Structure 1
């Protein structure tokens, strides 16, 4: 039986002993040439939230605010070389995994995560860009489910991604989100943050943080903006950053939700491109200038 708890404002996040260690976060993802999503968004989010970002690039995209016009995959061998270079030198506490374009790369990433055993793993199962462009080969979904998701402390699918992972129709309301909780648990991750941002008719953006025997409802007012490119990358990276700083998982997720909400609130302060612009990762800094 799932237990729902409406989240109260986070007044005093819980820190553990990691708070005294440099919070190094590795992002493993694709590059967005437009700068709004992927590795670029990850590095911005990790930096803005207090972490130190390092990166392994899995694919190059020819991309801007209007869409993706090309994808060039990096070989699994070179992905492994990048991973070895980072892990052999840097004390990586948390890993965020984003776009992985094929089964070979998924296998390599899973193998190296098992080898180096970072303390936290956050997986954003990137499959579709904000523009609707497919970013993950359909044949790789099974590899993602069998090899990588069970290694994650939290996975952060949006509704279309959750639909693709468990083979159901895309939920159209919060009740239908609730109905797929048990199936999402069966993916093997320790927890799931099911993002409800695609429920555009709702006045709130409500996510469900699904644990082994509990469900926490995280809700924020929906912001009327077209500038939402890179929201999933940004949220998952912020969660990884807070974990690396020593916040417990529930606190890291709630802080990540608060951060992405404010980044969306301030998104229209930026004028970037002609399509779906990025969120404002450095809203605090920008307000101070």
Structure 2
């Protein structure tokens, strides 16, 4: 509705719950709040997990996922949507179709897709047979943010082992329907963590975003945090490249700060910085 346009713009996160609060919907809400952006939520699944392992995952019925989505868009000015764990093939089919429909009537909404195919603590979050319908969701998103393993799995090839491989895989993802890709290269050997950005928009030049690597044990939820930070920066009026650059700097600060406290016995969560401590 037109009246919603006069409301403060917000982020919607569509993701699963992490009982350890390091990743998933909890990480998304904390990140947006830290950056000064209000975040609504659509819960797709519930996990029982801590910093060492996931012991259970229960997808929510598509009916309640749909009801959450409709409740949010009925009353909030959703300017950016971050999609994380989808939970089930049924949820995927619904969300791909519903987001496409929502995008048609709200073309300015920016969708960031960061579907984790495998959690950092070793639990598979998405079966291989569901990768084909996942491409429908990729075609709807304005930006996808796969890491090296996810990019390789989506393309059915080996993980990229060099910057040149990353560039080729990003191009292949664009050819297969992605609108823009940020391949995260933090696991490549080298002193820097470099991510490669490529857009279908010829006016936006390909870009590398690099930062020094940190020997950071507490890194649980980095993918969720980066994607939701990008969505938050889009709401704040940044262009996509600006949002990525600022979000990368924010994540680096979080990784630095997170080494001073230990919340779990395994790979701990990121220490959330409030807005006043992050000056871009």
Q: What TM-score, normalized by structure 2, do the two folds share?
A: 0.90
Q: 32, 36, 44: which is aligned to 1:58?
A: 44
Which runs of 5 or more structure 1 residues have no equivalent in the other structure? 1-19
Question: 1:176 Cα shift?
Answer: 2.2
Deviates more, 1:52-61 or 1:118-127: 118-127
Does the 8 Å CA contact 1:149/1:187 hold for their aligned counterparts?
A: no
Residue in 2 that maps onto 1:137:
127
The reply on whether 1:251 has 2:239 as its aligned counterpart is no
The reply on whether 1:203 has 2:191 as its aligned counterpart is yes
Residue in 2 that maps onto 1:176:
165
Residue in 1 that maps onto 2:212:
221
Partners of 1:96 and 1:168 in 2: CA distance:
26
Residue in 1 that maps onto 2:101:
115
Question: 1:285 Cα shift?
Answer: 5.8
Does the 8 Å CA contact 2:7/2:76 hold for their aligned counterparts?
A: no
Question: 1:91 Cα shift?
Answer: 0.9
Which runs of 5 or more structure 2 residues have no equivalent in the other structure? 1-5
Q: Secondary structure at the match of 1:180?
A: helix
Question: 1:186 Cα shift?
Answer: 2.0
Partners of 1:71 and 1:35 in 2: CA distance:
15
- After superposition, the CA RMSD in angstroms is 1.7
The reply on whether 1:270 has 2:261 as its aligned counterpart is yes
Residue in 1 that maps onto 2:155:
166
Deviates more, 1:262-271 or 1:175-184: 175-184
Question: 1:265 Cα shift?
Answer: 1.3
Residues matched between the structures, number? 266
Moved over 6 A (4+): none
1:87-146 Cα shifts (integer Å, max 9, x gaps)? 11111110000001222101111222123335110000211111222111222211111x
Question: 1:86 Cα shift?
Answer: 0.6
Q: 272, 276, 280: which is aligned to 1:281?
A: 272
Residue in 1 that maps onto 2:75:
89
Residue in 2 that maps onto 1:74:
60
* TM-aligned CA distance change 1:265 to 1:165, over 3 Å: same
Partners of 1:74 and 1:36 in 2: CA distance:
20
* TM-aligned CA distance change 1:283 to 1:74, over 3 Å: same
Q: What TM-score, normalized by structure 1, do the two folds share?
A: 0.88
Q: Secondary structure at the match of 2:75?
A: coil
* TM-aligned CA distance change 1:216 to 1:183, over 3 Å: same
* TM-aligned CA distance change 1:174 to 1:259, over 3 Å: same
